[in-house]
Structure 1
Amino acid sequence: MISNNEMIRIRRQMQRRIRDVVAERRRTREQDPTPRTPAPASTPSGADQEVCVTDNGPG
């Protein structure tokens, strides 16, 4: 079974990876010279969606 400390470590590692990917996508979009047409507000693209990580408590 995974200890509480290990679960916290894994969760923080996942959050760090998500932040890194989001930042990399943002940098790529900012450097892309081609103009982008905005997606309709009702259906945001995958790169524009906000990433939420929920804490489900211990274990």
Structure 2
Amino acid sequence: LSEYLIRGIDTNIEFVKAVILDPAFRQGEATTAYVEDFLARAPKEIFEKSDNEVKNK
């Protein structure tokens, strides 16, 4: 995922990378509430890169 460069459209690659690296996800503890729980505790910096790329288009 870190090698992908997609221009012109918004992607969720940064989010997917953060999920894949999340210990709870890696340990198989994901439930139907996982995304909501992850967003509540995830560092907001993981989304800043995507936001800045959109602003710089």
Q: TM-score, normalization: structure 2?
A: 0.36
Q: TM-score, normalization: structure 1?
A: 0.35
Q: Which structure's relative contact order is higher, taking Cα pairs within 8 Å and 6+ residues apart?
A: 1
Please identify the structure whose Cα radius of gyration is greater: 1
